[in-house]
Structure 1
Amino acid sequence: MKKHLLAPAAALAALGLALSGCASSDGGDGEAAGGLQIDVPEIPMMEELGENENEVNILAWSGFVEPAWAEQFTAETGCTVNRKIFATSDEAVQLMRTGEYDLVSASGDASLRLIVDGNVQPLNTELIPNFGDDIVEGMKGQLYDTLNGNVYGIPIGRGANILQYNSDVVTEDPTSWDVVWEADSPYAGKIAAYDSPIYIADAAIYLMATQPDLGIENPYALDETQLQAAVDLLKQQNGMVSEYWNPTTNISSFTGGNSVVGTSWEVLRKATGDEKFKSVLPEEGSTGWSDAWMLAADAEHPNCAYAWMDYTSSPEVNGQIAMGFGMAPANGAFCEMSDEAKEHCDYYNATDEDYYKQVWFWTTPIDQCLDGRTDVQCTNYQDWTAAWATVKG
């Protein structure tokens, strides 16, 4: 069900997955979220809406564009929805660069690449009435989709990468990621790890807590020394891993007994259908994912695209997407609509900002250090892709 990256082929890196974010020299309009300055292509923002075109072409994760609400949208707007499902963030980036799609549901491990490479345009939120006070604060103004004072992404939903465990085997409830990283883990050989270069950030989070002398301040801002430390930890873990999972293998890995502890998503834990599988957000914090609609720089159907972003930001439709997919909705008003909605929101900690303050949402690593350092060059996504290949061998 959930998606995101599978291990990308090395050839993808050669197609331009690496980014070069350079500090803005003007000191004015280059300020990004958190005060960071990054040069991005100047692409005009729509000032007003025109008449709806007859269609809109959308790239989406599975479950984000379903017939039930797409057909209602068409009835209300006259915009026929043409959907293409993608399986990984890398695939989404490649497809958006073809110029054939108006919108994409991008995760944080894709969105910054699209912004810096000029593939998407800034959004005029005044033209999206449902992007208002009900959108949870923790999904606004984030570095992965907000730069230079411009909004590039309309939030859809979010989730944390949690520590899942089989309580029949892991009888002492874990509170730390040490059970998956330390060489003396009693669960060696039964540890599930996410299959993606972005998993390097999980190692970095653990190192932030256990090796503070490395100076890691942001798990997506690693210089060469810090990246090597994360890779060394990942290589140590490699000998203990039972399976590098993707969403289609995670559930079977746990239910089949191949894995007893490791990273997972709440939606996948729920899908096991077995209460013996429990989860925790460990004391070190975790990585996570946040998805948003992004509009192509040269969108052929921008008016229908804006209509879609507004439509799917309403509490009713955003809630349907969140429940059908298995994530925290972006529109917090949905959580008050029914007992079922409240139960869903409670399960995914939808409006609990204290919970999500512990989550480092996926953000594409770029040459410019996202922690604000200017005395070193950080490693980028291409570096991470190459490093990940050495981890898995």
Structure 2
Amino acid sequence: MDKSLSLPVRESVKDNNPSLIGGACIIASVCVGAGMLGLPSAGAGAWTIWSVLAITLTMIVMTVSGWMLLEAFKHYDLKVSFNTVTKDMLGDKVNMFNNLTVYFVGGILLYAYITSSGLILQDVLGFDSKISSILFVLVFSAFVWHSTRAVDRISVVLIAFMVLSFVFGVSGLAVNVDMSVLFDTINEQTIYAPYSMAMLPVALTSFGYHHSVASMRSYYGEERKAKNAILGGTAIALSLYILWLFSIYGSLPRSQFGPVIEQGGNVDALLTALGSVIASEKVANAINIFSMAAILSSFIGVGLGVFDYLADLFKFEDTKQGRAKTWLVTFLPPLIMSLLFPFGFVIAIGYAGAAATVWTCIIPALLVRKSRSLENGNEGFKAPGGKAMIMLVMGFGVLTAVFHFMSMLGILPAFRG
């Protein structure tokens, strides 16, 4: 394997002994923005039980696929990136296609977060939504430009802030949770399972941290600590998702999701619908603060992964000037798109999920199969499962993409409220 292909995107901080919770929070922060704000609307048709089953299955598959990337990366220097490994193992054509999907997903997620932040900050600051979006990007992308350590620190703060506002908001919602609403027992003849298929692309995006795997490996200096950070991060995300869905679905009747879905699942529409069933203004404010923290944490986490990825792809140096160039190609295109073409949050997440199946499931499975065929492929870190697990991960990705396109064509049942 050609080690000369490795490019130092940023220096490893192995000697600084970074904490497990810091890395887990980075992974969780990448996930939770998309999941917290996209899953309630995307899962309205599947409702409580089938939504929980869908996101739990997705979490398991996506955690394993992240470990598969770690296994493939073990043949390279710590400073290697997803781009380098894919090009070396699978060739230029596969890597080019993978690059397009990685950038598309990262860009469309940043685009969705920037647009949503503008809509929320417009109400808080009183500024125009476009000005709010610009300020949001200028201020918070600075953490990504600075270093992984800065993202670690702000991610821990944001996750803690999210937990506090989440607990306060959820506890306020929990007081009003109606079990008949939570499990929709009023409509006993309703079928929920078919709607879970259309939900899977959003669920997959809700665990789409894979562009940050290389950063985690470099951050810890080894695969096993990075593995634990990934598991910790996806477990945190899953726990928050389940608590959030229980609180939303137990408070807002299934039939009242119609107006939210009509507006493309936009975050402000969801918050407005929740406001109509929340009696306490303080609880409503806590939910709004939580939503903003979720968007911010995911914006920074996704930004870090895309930043590192593009730095390697364009061979930008790890200097102030080089990092400024990487900042421009990372954040400027989604900002411009947000200002020109704002549209539904869940619609954007759905497209991202379909494209993300390539680099979250299919490419990791192909890489680990190639890795195990090498002479020293079975030495060192190894993801659990054999050929069956590889086929499971790849099959899950293919089916998720197929479900998205079937939904677009109107073949899958669509819940309208």
TM-score, scaled relative to structure 2? 0.28
Report which of the two has the higher share of helix: 2
Report which of the two has the higher share of strand: 1
